[in-house]
């Protein structure tokens, strides 16, 4: 049932078929990553060279696994993309600086220079979990497009899951499209976590009822480890 609902969410992409740029935002479980992968596959099937980009390594491995057999799709995370591109361009980097200074200012500036010095370009860029992308990253991301001004960019994000306060600079002028259907969790899980949601429109759920939520309380780190083993 959950798989069927997830496939149903893919129909939302049909509404965006004629858009070249869009932001799609939604709660956890609304199928954003699944839609990001599906959009990448659609664009690749049209003959476009697609970059599927995200923030962290674990998600990047998932995206790469789901697109490894898809021609024209490259999946990676921003940090790996930046380092590899700068190395190919043979640009020296002073790594002995504060991490925030390095990744929020130095690397984006050097990455633009590296992109100019290389020929790596994409017709379309799909960004998943974009809520944690620094505003300074969006300029080099656009430079990676074959057509910087009119190239295809789809951004998937969830403000409720942002680790950092980074939601500025996104190169999309139109209002975001909202996904309000939680299609991953059962009703019991959805109702349990709904009280922690912050946003304009509370998510809905259409899924099996599921079993009752079990709460395991941990008093210290050792309890947490035991609880994870138990789960």
Residue 196: the pLDDT is: 74
Residue 219: the pLDDT is: 83
Number of helical (H) and strand (E) elements in the chain, helices listed first: 10, 8
- DSSP assignment of 22-55 equals EEEEE-TTS-HHHHHHHHHHHHHHTT--EEEEES
Beta bridge partners of 154: 22, 126
Residue 117: the pLDDT is: 96
Residue 198: the pLDDT is: 66
pLDDT tens per residue across all 231 residues of the chain: 666 656 667 777 777 888 999 999 887 777 889 889 999 999 999 999 999 999 999 999 999 999 999 999 999 999 999 999 999 999 999 877 677 789 999 999 999 999 999 999 999 999 999 999 999 999 999 999 999 989 999 999 986 655 444 556 899 988 888 887 777 778 888 788 777 776 666 677 777 888 998 888 888 877 776 655 544
- State whether residue 100 is helix, strand or coil: helix
Residue 88: the pLDDT is: 96
Q: Is the pTM here over 0.75, yes or no?
A: yes
């Amino acid at each position: 049932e959950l798989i069927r609902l997830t496939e149903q969410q893919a129909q939302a992409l049909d509404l965006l078929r004629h858009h070249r740029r869009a932001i799609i935002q939604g709660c956890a479980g609304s199928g954003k990553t699944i839609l990001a992968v599906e959009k990448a596959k659609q664009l690749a099937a049209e003959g476009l060279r697609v970059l599927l980009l995200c923030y962290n390594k674990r998600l990047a491995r998932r995206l790469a696994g789901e697109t490894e057999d898809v021609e024209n799709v490259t999946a990676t995370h921003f940090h790996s993309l930046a380092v590899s591109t700068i190395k190919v361009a043979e640009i020296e980097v002073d790594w002995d600086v504060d991490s925030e200074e390095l990744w929020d200012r130095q690397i984006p500036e050097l990455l633009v220079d590296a992109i100019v010095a290389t020929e790596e370009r994409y017709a379309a860029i799909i960004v998943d979990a974009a809520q944690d992308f620094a505003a300074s990253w969006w300029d080099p991301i656009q430079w990676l497009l074959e057509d910087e001004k009119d190239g295809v960019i789809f951004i998937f994000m969830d403000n409720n899951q942002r680790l950092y306060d980074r939601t500025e600079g996104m190169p999309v002028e139109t209002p975001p499209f909202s996904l309000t259907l939680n299609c991953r969790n059962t009703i019991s899980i959805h109702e349990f976590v709904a009280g922690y949601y912050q946003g304009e429109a509370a998510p809905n759920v259409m899924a099996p009822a599921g079993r009752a939520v079990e709460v395991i309380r941990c008093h210290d780190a050792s309890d947490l480890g035991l609880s994870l083993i138990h789960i």
